[in-house]
Amino acid sequence: MLKEGDKAPSFSLTSDNGETVSLKDFKGKTVVLYFYPKDMTPGCTQEACDFRDQQDKFKKAKAIVLGVSRDSMGRHVKFREKYDLNFPLLADEDGKICNAYGVWKEKSLYGRKFMGIERTTFIIGPTGKIEKVFSKVKVKGHSEEVLEGI
């Protein structure tokens, strides 16, 4: 897992609007990069809607929010449209970026072990260094917690 002070791994991923989004596009800006397990699930929907509802505050803080999961671009488009999301969702279908950021982990649910994304948010500063890491995120109140960390 990456830690505060580490250089954020670069990436180029396709967003839900079909554009390629790269970390280098945001040089000089603060990026809130949040990894979540799956579109359309209750926790992920709540988290995305909370980030959506806080967009004005993130813009005032001069921060860009990017959501990342391993869902397909098509699923991201449906998710964005259904919940009127106002920030890019990035499709990491092959999991390379999840691995680079150390969020692809063994999880356990009802005694069953499986691999999945551990809900994690990184605040990446204007110089490309990780300023804050929120791991094993609890959804309730998370967007406010991130705003306080910027």
Q: Which of 44, 65, 89, 103 is catalytic?
A: 44
Q: Are 39 and 71 in contact (CB under 8 A)?
A: yes
Which ranges of 68-141 does DSSP label H, i.e. alpha helix?
Answer: 73-83, 96-100
Using the structure block, give the residue that is written with the tokens 């860009």.
64
Structure tokens at 3: 């830690």
Q: Do 103 and 121 contact (CB within 8 A), yes or no? A: no
Give the span between the Cα atoms of 62 and 44, in whole angstroms: 24
Q: Which residue has the tokens 């970390």?
A: 23
For residues 98 and 110, the answer to whether their CB atoms sit within 8 Å is no
- Catalytic (active site) residue 44: yes
Q: Are 59 and 149 in contact (CB under 8 A)?
A: no
Catalytic residue numbers?
44
